[in-house]
Structure formats: structure tokens, C-alpha cells
Chains A and B, each alone.
Chain A
Amino acid sequence: MSSTPLRHTALDALHRSLGATMTDFAGWDMPLRYGSERDEHNAVRTRAGLFDLSHMGEITVTGPQAAALLDYALVGNIGGVKPGRARYTMICRADGGILDDLIVYRLAEAEAPEYMVVANASNAQVVLDALAERSAGFDAEVRDDRDAYALIAVQGPQSPAILKSLTDADLDGLKYYAGLPGTVAGVPALIARTGYTGEDGFELFVKPEHAVELWQALTKAGEGAGLVPCGLSCRDTLRLEAGMPLYGHELSTSLTPFDAGLGRVVKFEKDGDFVGREALREAAARAEQNPPRVLVGLVAEGRRVPRAGYAVVAGGEVIGEVTSGAPSPTLGKPIAMAYVDAAHAAPGTPGVGVDIRGSHEPYEVVALPFYKRQK
């Protein structure tokens, strides 16, 4: 146990009044679930769910060379992001290892360019330190805005209708991976059409002092639509069904984006050097010649649940490792993401199993994601 006291979000008292089971997550005391995590999961798939994600780490980058700094510090082409749009990207070490995966929002143009980098809670300090260090020589400012925002997400097929009842912002014109400033329930917010559930949905960045008011307004607006508060437990099963990687599970400093099957986020064609370019070139070439383990989906035939770290086996040999596993509420079966040797990565490869505490349980290899919403 860490001796550092847990941090609390602006919604902490509200979570407790809702009877949430709380958990230590990356140094934050966060809601794990309010009732049944399966019910919360199904609500997001079929109706709508409300999440407190205030533990995510916001870092603002401003100044004339903000884009140049981000192009140097991150592996993506950030200069190419249009105002009001967002991009999924990564920050790597010089040796190509993944420090974190990020979403970078280019905020609507006022005068100087302004970007908001959203890091995972567990990596926010690392990302902040790396950006600050990499900003040397650039006419740009890196600002720690972790305490400046609360983050509330509304996810699920009913989320556009719920949000529309509280805002005049043009939600129909707001594309996936885009964000615009607006007012929701009278509260100034950056309204982003992003999320981590595989559903349509929105993430609302607001000042912490407005979080309770916004949460309550969303709760009221969502009453008739079946919106329920949701904890981190169902967030994890939702993202797993959607095949989305989680730092510390599918991503780590010991993997390059190419090892993680996410080489497409690395933009070698962008102008100028960037941290990790040389090592990532080599990693790309290596991956080409000698395919690394491949991230695949596994679906159980039985009911025992694979957990992170369990060995994937075939013919009595270890051929991979589970990175995330859970019972899938949508499929009604246990599922997992796992890195497996390329020879066993094709969907339908026979004879693949997971060593579940000594017993080799049969699993079907499938392509990711497990779940894709109908548009």
C-alpha cells in the first residue's frame, strides 16, 4: 500500500451518496461500481452510462511552436490535426518503448494554437515531465492542468439525446474524435465526441466546481432514457469488448507501438525529428522481417475467466500471454486479449488454450474487437 493519501475528485461526496464501492486507482479514490457492474455495462451498451473520469491527466500545450513541440515529443502527426479535432497517439521513449497512449485535442483556434493532451492517470506525471523536458528550445508552454478539469463522460446510444436536451451546441455536426467549446446545463464545457466504451458518447471537460451541477443535470436529463452511473469496473469490460488497449496491460515501456500492433500511429513521414524515430524505424523493420507476437482476441468455450499474466498454450507449449481478461456481458462468455506468437494468431487457429491455474481451457482465437456497435 502506498502511504500517499488518495486523491478525490470533485464528485467524491456524490459517489458516496450513491453508494459506490470505491477503489484505489492510480492514486485516486474512484468509483469501482455503484451496483452490479454487469447492469452498468449493459446500460452503456443499450441505453447510457455516466462516468466520472476526473482522474485522467490534462496537460495544456500553448504557444507559437506548440504543434512543433508535440510533433517532436509524440509519434503522431499533431501538426496535421485540424482545430476542433482530436487524435489518438502515443508518447515513446528514445528506445521506442511506449510511455503512454494519449488523446490530443486541438482546441478551436482563438489566437495562439492550443492543445490539450489527455494522459492516463497512472502516467500523467511521466507524460508531464517528458513534455516539459522535450519542450526545451521550443517557443511553447507546457502547463499542468490536472487540477483545472473535472471530466464527466456520457456513453451509450442514448447519450446524444440526453446531451441535446442540455445544450445548444451542434452535436449533430460534432464528429467522432472532435471537440467543441459549449455550454451544457449552463456550465461551460469542452464537449468532445470521444470515449472508451465502443459506443457513441461524449466526454465533457469542465471546471471542478461545476462537476456536481453537471452530473446532477445529466442524471436528471437521463432519467427517462435509462442512464445510470457507471464505475471503472464496467469501463474495463466495455473497453475490452471494444478491443481497446489499456496502458499497463496491452501497452508498456517494454513494447514499441509496432510490437503492440499499433505501428500505424507512428508517422515517419512528418517533418523533423521526433523522440524515438530511429528506434521505431528499427522496430518497424524488425516487425516486417520477423513478426512479433500479435494482439488477438480469445473467446472461452467454458466459463473460467482468463486473467492478465496467464499463459496462452498450444500443444503443451506456451505461445503467448493474456494481457486482459474478463467475463463479457455482451457475449455471455469469458474473453481476453493476449499477445500470441504469429503462427497461432490467425482467427480460428485450432488447439489454442489458456492455462487457468493449471488447467488448459480451450479458447477460440478471434479478430479484435469482440464487439462493434451498429451505426
Chain B
Amino acid sequence: MSNPQQLRYSKEHEWLSAADDGVSTVGITEHAANALGDVVFVQLPEVGDSVSAGETCGELESTKSVSDLYSPVSGEVTEVNEDVVNDPSLVNSAPFEGGWLFKVRVTDEPGDLLSADEYTAFSAG
């Protein structure tokens, strides 16, 4: 599977887009989506919520398990993907596109986000 070059990645398997007017989009990677299996429920933060890098801000439920969703950055949530709330299978079918999770106005980000190549190596190991 290929991880888009223009994104950056956390070790908790979230991806983060480059900021557009200070706002970045967050999703989970294809690797994570495959590991979860069919995602059947997502609980996302609400618009206006403050999220903190490395802390939980929601959950992803699949057939067999429930996983915490971590925010890769700190900031304020500006938008959540209602499509994925209504159809969680988008996380599996289009993790880097229609299956994005939320947008965040970034105030701080940790220095340890990975490049696509670094993440590919990390998730393979």
C-alpha cells in the first residue's frame, strides 16, 4: 500500500495534511484501517473542541475491537467529516480521501511526525 508523499504521519497511524490557512486535515492510514478490519462506528471530536497532540479525541470501532483515535497535533477542531459518521466504511474504502476524520486549526505540533517514507518503514516493521 502506498502512503501519499504530501502527508505526514504519527506513530499512532494518523495522517496529517499540510496546513491550508492554518487548518490541517486528519485521518487514519490505510495500514491502520486494514489492521482494524471493517470500521462500523466512529466517534469524532466536536467542532470547537480543543485537541492535544498524542491524546485521545475519539474512537474507532471495528467488528472485533475498539481503538482510540489520537490527535497528531494540538489545536481547535474546525470541521468533522459527517459522511464518515454516517458511513464508517469510508475509513476502509478511502482512508486518505473520503474517509478523512476531522480538520484542526493547528496551534502546536510535536516534532516527531514522520514523512511518508519514514512511516512506510515504521508501519512495515
Measured CB to CB, the residues of A under 8 A from B are 21, 32-33, 36-38, 233, 236-237, 303-305, 307, 326-327, 334, 357
Contact = CB atoms under 8 A, between A and B. Distances in A.
Interface of B: 34, 37-38, 40-41, 43, 61, 63-64, 66, 92
B38 to A, nearest CB: 5
A327 B40 contact: yes
A91 B116 CA distance: 54
Contact of A305 (B34, B61, B92): B61
A305 B37 contact: no
B80 to A, nearest CB: 16
A38 B66 contact: no
Contacts, number: 39
Contact of A37 (B43, B61, B63, B66): B63
B61 A233 contact: no
The interface centre, meaning the residue of B38, B61, B66 with most chain A CB atoms within 10 A of its CB, is: B38
A327 B63 contact: yes
A36 B38 contact: yes
B61 A304 contact: yes
Contacts of B61: 303-305, 327
A327 to B, nearest CB: 4
A303 B63 CA distance: 12
Given A233-B37, A303-B41, A326 B66 contact: no
The interface centre, meaning the residue of A237, A305, A307, A326 with most chain B CB atoms within 10 A of its CB, is: A305
A38 B41 contact: no
A352 to B, nearest CB: 20
B66 A307 contact: yes
15 contacts: A32-B37, A36-B38, A36-B92, A37-B38, A37-B64, A38-B63, A236-B64, A237-B63, A304-B41, A305-B41, A307-B66, A327-B38, A327-B41, A327-B61, A334-B41
